[in-house]
Amino acid sequence: MSGLLLVLLVALIFVVLYQVARSSEMVARIQGEEVFDKKRNKILAFSMLVLMVAFFVGIYACHRYMMPLMAPQAASDHGKNYDFMFFVTLMVTGFIFVLTQILLFWFAYKYQRTGEKVPFHFAHSTKLELVWTTIPAIAMAVLVAIGLKAWFTMTSEAPKGAMQIEIVGKQFNWISRYPGPDGVLGKRYFTNINDKDNILGLDWKDQKNMDDIIVPNGELRLIKDKPVELLIGSRDVIHDVGLSHFRMKMDAVPGITSRLWFTPIITTEEMKKITGNENFVYELSCDQMCGKGHYSMRAVIIVETQAEHDAWLAKQQSYYAQNHTTEAPAAEAPKVDSAKSITMNIK
Amino acid sequence: MSNEATIQHDTHTHDTHDAHAHHEHAHHEHKQHFLSKYVFSMDHKIISRQFLITGMFWAIAGGLMSVFFRLQLGFPDQTFSVLSKFLGEWARGGKMDPEMYYGLVTIHGTVLVFFVLTGGLSGTFSNFLIPLQIGARDMASPFLNMLSYWFFALASVVMFSSLFINTGPASGGWTTYPPLSALKEASMGSGLGMDLWLVSMAFFIISSLLGGLNYIVTVLNMRTKGMSMTRMPLTIWAFLFTAVLGVLSFPVLLSAAVLLLFDRHAGTSFYLSEIFIAGRALPNVGGSAILYQHLFWFLGHPEVYIIMLPAMGMASEILSTHSRKPIFGYFAMILSLIGITVLAFLVWAHHMFVTGMSPFLGGIFVLLTLLIAIPSAVKVFNWLTTIWKGNIRFTPAMLFALGFVSLFISGGLTGLFLGNSALDIHLHDTYFVVAHFHIVMGISAFFGMFAGIYHWFPKMYGRFMNNTLGYVHFFITFVGAYVIFWPMHYEGVAGMPRRYYEYSAWESFKQFGELNQMISVAAIIVFFAQLLFVFNYFVSVWKGRKVTDPNPWKANSLEWTTPILPGHGNWDGPIPEVHRWAYDYKDNGEGGDFIPQHIPLREGEADEHH
């Protein structure tokens, strides 16, 4: 019923608007089209100025509202680069933006029709056109240069001594794997996967797997000021490791291992102080559409000191040990994972 | 393929009634059977209206979908009876199911990009304006032209039917990346819905190819005497390059779709490798999911320009006409169109910076991508110079053309962030992208389209659209578009991912809840303003103020030399000969400020563009 009323209401508004609009045509006929058109043209020209002012005031108001809600400063070295580049690009584009928008609305207002006049015939000027081909070209060259420098830095080989963590996406949660004491991740293959005791398909013939630690909710434990290289994979469809606080992301593609490295520079605890938010937490979001649970594919990232990390590591049991003891009581504990809470979210 | 031959039958009839050509003409049209005149028509003007009205249907459907998912995004903890009314089991109790949310997002994207802004935009205006502006009686092949529409209609029917099947429509996003789209285990929408999506797209591609080839042939071969390429209005140049882009890139999408169908049903592994899903390891090894993305974006990026170029062409024409000034830098405009067309094929992988592709290759694509800023900047400055010192008439068409320029600037500049891989690595797939492409190719292309409709409506129907409603439509849409999409840039900079059903569980993104509400409310208002436009359109078709002057805008191009309501064949008498370029807005020596293309050069007058 309310739906019907709404439809009727909208129809009514349209009809009223239409009648008002029709009557304006009527007024035009009474006043004489010419006079009416002239008046209307003047009003519309003025509205261009109003629109321009409203536009910039709106942008300012939006900025004021949004800034307190934005993400805190970048929490990685690459992220700092990113923030700098973003600023430079914003200045370049912001300048062009303000200039061209003002010109557009100002010209529209200034050169409104005020009557028949001999048109200003100005169809071509090589000099002007060269100017506005060259200046953008130079600006672009600068942006490309800065951009590529940052790009090749962040996509270069990870520094020696970087810690390696594997992060694997599946519908709809993340699984992370740490190399254990030997510092090397063992081989895995998708045909070995089973959800009971080998969620990543580790190859048990590979001795390097024996000490690998798997965290089934994808928690990433990173060390402040220590470079980390993520080896990124997927079990099923394409996912994407989104690290918004670190200003990076990389797709997780089945059949391919992609890599991403960076150095975290602010611990979670420090960030809580910086943001003044007791609940602050670094989050890993899935940034590539992966199915109905896409929006809930979340993992937590903890940036800690070396000492804290070592203490955590010491308490972990290898995945092999968890699943290959006669009575494995501890094995189920970490499995209260996001997978379950997510299914609850969806249903 | 001569001009006269194509509609031999019609002109013949005209000749027999030569004495009262105009009067008899109308009479003759009445005698034509309804089916052959309005349904299986081979008249480019009718076909263009068919494209436009089908496009409008899809725009409303696609817009309504966005209203639905905006309700979910703005008010995730509330229920809406309107949702359960429209979506039935997919929104039990008024709460939208995530599967349906993703289905709506997918179909919204697909139909707006392809059916509205490709079929509805270049289908409408290429068809309508090419013969009228180059001086031809119809397309090179009116029959293929008719087929082009009917394949589009078929594609529409298939796509629409996919909304009603019990596993729901395709739901992997409009890009439908495999493996998600290839495996029915991966999502409900990857079942029958995905097959229908692929079949529908195949029909659409056929439609687009038939249309595009026709446009190219017509522009190259059927220009009237004196209409050299460099005398053509910029609209025609834009339609020509649009068609070239489509003809060269759509087949690649077709191949991507066919391979995807094979992977889905024939057990091949073009896109699949090492997948464990629904409790078992699939046998497919050796394919590459990234291959599909290359194929898709090889069309997908040119597609952006397929959408933009017609809008650019029409904006150029309208800005010049209503400023009473020649377009500034005609040749620079053509060169920049060429530049954009060529570069369009060389930048596709900038959509794939974060797929793990070779960083070196990424670097090349950064360079090529940012190059596009140069022709785009040239166009913007040329538009600004066109209105500079003009004598501007603020018709609804002119307002939308000005709005188009504003939006093109705003959306184009944010492309410089996304095209730079070191920034894209953070902004990719966030709301920054959503804001960017909605402004630059969604709203601004829509503005070009609205400008075109308001401007050429008198030629289409012999009546004007209501101005006042046009102004209301403009102001609500222009302000609304910025209110909706401007704040999304901020959300994107904060890393908020797109295609999320809900954000409330995220510590990093939940602070935008209030903003999302505001955006949703604005989106709903803007949606109703578009209905107002549709209302204005259809009321004006029958009730609009009648056109009495065959050249109501005092424009130069040839379409205004036809009778107010041209029949099939466009000109009653011979096709006019062209003597000058399309933008001779200057003193005509008799107090007028324009000289149409068919007026011979005065003595001693130099032709600026031979």
pLDDT value for B494: 95
pLDDT for B394 beyond 70:
yes
pLDDT for B358 beyond 50:
yes
Asked if residue A256 and residue A167 are part of one domain, the reply reads yes
Q: Does residue A3 belong to any structural domain of this protein?
A: no
What CATH number did the domain enclosing A332 receive? 2.60.40.420
pLDDT band at A1 (very low <50, low <70, confident <90, very high): low
Q: Does residue A123 belong to any structural domain of this protein?
A: no
Asked if residue A279 and residue A147 are part of one domain, the reply reads no
pLDDT band at A326 (very low <50, low <70, confident <90, very high): low
Q: Does residue A11 belong to any structural domain of this protein?
A: no
Q: How many domains does chain A have?
A: 2
The per-residue pLDDT for range B16-65, each reduced to its tens digit, is: 444 444 444 444 445 678 777 888 889 999 999 999 999 999 999 999 99
Asked if residue A171 and residue A149 are part of one domain, the reply reads no
Asked if residue A205 and residue A135 are part of one domain, the reply reads no
Find the CB nearest A298 among B288, B414, B506. Answer: B506
* DSSP code of residue B176: T
Residue of B nearest to A231 (CA): B356
Asked if residue A317 and residue A202 are part of one domain, the reply reads yes
8 Å CB contact of A18 and B330: no
Q: Give residue A299's domain range.
A: 163-346
| Angle, helices B8-16/B21-31, rounded to nearest 10 degrees | 130
* DSSP code of residue B39: I
Q: Is B591 exposed, middle or buried (0-12, 13-18, 19+ CB in 10 A)?
A: exposed
Asked if residue A139 and residue A192 are part of one domain, the reply reads no
Does B281 contact chain A (CB < 8 Å)? yes
Q: Does residue A18 belong to any structural domain of this protein?
A: no
Q: Does residue A86 belong to any structural domain of this protein?
A: yes
pLDDT band at B609 (very low <50, low <70, confident <90, very high): low
| Closest approach of B319 to chain A, Cα-based (Å) | 10
Asked if residue A245 and residue A294 are part of one domain, the reply reads yes
8 Å CB contact of B394 and A44: yes
Tell me, what amino acid is at B580?
A: R
> Which positions in chain B touch A236 (Cβ < 8 Å)?
179, 183, 186, 275-277
pLDDT for B15 beyond 70:
no
Predicted interface score ipTM higher than 0.85: yes
8 Å CB contact of A62 and B486: yes
The per-residue pLDDT for range B56-92, each reduced to its tens digit, is: 999 999 999 999 999 999 999 999 989 998 998 999 9
> Which positions in chain A touch B323 (Cβ < 8 Å)?
111
Asked if residue A168 and residue A75 are part of one domain, the reply reads no
Distance between CA atoms of residues A246 and A78, nearest Å: 7
| Angle, helices A2-31/A33-66, rounded to nearest 10 degrees | 140
Asked if residue A181 and residue A284 are part of one domain, the reply reads yes
* DSSP code of residue A159: P
Statement: B38-272+282-561 belongs to CATH 1.20.210.10: yes
pLDDT for A338 beyond 70:
no
8 Å CB contact of B494 and A59: no
Beta-carbon pairs below 8 A across chains A and B: 377
* DSSP code of residue B113: I
The per-residue pLDDT for range A206-220, each reduced to its tens digit, is: 999 999 999 999 999
pLDDT for B578 beyond 80:
yes
| Contact criterion met (CB below 8 Å) for A62 and B411 | no
Angstrom CA distances, A197 to A188, A192, A201, A329, A332, stand at 14, 10, 9, 14, 10
Asked if residue A206 and residue A235 are part of one domain, the reply reads yes
pLDDT value for A119: 72
* DSSP code of residue B589: S
Mean pLDDT of chain B: 92
Find the CB nearest A71 among B287, B469, B508. Answer: B508
> Between β-strands A228-234 and A163-170, what pairing exists: parallel, antiparallel or unpaired?
parallel
Q: Does residue A1 belong to any structural domain of this protein?
A: no
Helix H or strand E segment including B280:
strand B280-281
> Which positions in chain A touch B276 (Cβ < 8 Å)?
170, 190, 193, 201, 235-236
Q: Does residue A239 belong to any structural domain of this protein?
A: yes
Structure tokens given for A255: 């059949």
Lowest mean pLDDT among A4-18, A48-62, A212-226, B147-161: A4-18
CA A295 from centroid of its chain's CA atoms:
13
The per-residue pLDDT for range B418-470, each reduced to its tens digit, is: 999 999 999 999 999 999 999 999 999 999 999 999 999 999 999 999 999 99
State chain A's maximal CA–CA distance in angstroms. 98
Does A125 contact chain B (CB < 8 Å)? yes
Structure tokens given for B397: 């068409």
DSSP string, B45-56: HHHHHHHHHHHH
Structure tokens given for B240: 């020509």
pLDDT value for A28: 78
Find the CB nearest B532 among A14, A121, A296. Answer: A14
Distance between CA atoms of residues B558 and B317, nearest Å: 13
Asked if residue A147 and residue A277 are part of one domain, the reply reads no
Q: Which of A251, A118, A6, A138 lies closest to B586, judged by CA?
A: A118
Q: Does residue A174 belong to any structural domain of this protein?
A: yes
- Listed by start position, the domains of chain B span 38-272+282-561
> Which positions in chain A touch B405 (Cβ < 8 Å)?
104
| Contact criterion met (CB below 8 Å) for B55 and B122 | no
Asked if residue A105 and residue A44 are part of one domain, the reply reads yes
Angstrom CA distances, A139 to A144, A332, B344, stand at 9, 58, 21
Name residues whose C-beta falls within 8 Å of residue B75's C-beta, 6 or more positions apart in sequence: B517, B520
